Structure 1
Amino acid sequence: MNNPVTNVIRINLEKAKEVALKWEQASGSELSAYCLEILKEIGCTDTELPDNLQTREQQLNFITGFASFAFGEVQNVQSFN
């Protein structure tokens, strides 16, 4: 029996860093609004940020993490061998 193919996401750190640097200059209200936009994009219907996205640092980490995922590319695990 063959092993099933497993995919991984390899992030693009350079693009994620560019996004992070851009948003570090943003106001608190801009950060909150963008986090809500990301949440809406992934299917959340809340109109307020959850408890774990209340601080500027949490919001920047969330935005950077989302950018890392969004700019990532799916690759076959076997290609890393």
Structure 2
Amino acid sequence: MQFTVRVKPGSRRGALVEASDDGLVVHVKERAVDGAANEGVVRALAAHFGVAPSRVTILRGHTARIKRIEVDDGTRTVA
């Protein structure tokens, strides 16, 4: 499944995924330096959806706060 998230780096709340009117908002403690926030987003979303971090991919927005994410939850079947 693919969706868009808004990232809030440097959050005091820690890793938190919440719903908003515009979709998901992901709060991470890591700052947006050297990809640390992206790694935090991947870990937070993996925990939220109950999948391994290797199944969460940032498709677009590596340097932006709004990112396009894909989560492979293992439900796809090959015909």
* Same fold by TM-score greater than 0.5: no
Give me the TM-score of the superposition, normalised by structure 2.
0.32
Question: Which is bigger in relative contact order (C-alpha 8 A, separation at least 6)?
Answer: 1
Q: Which has the higher strand share?
A: 2
Give me the TM-score of the superposition, normalised by structure 1.
0.31
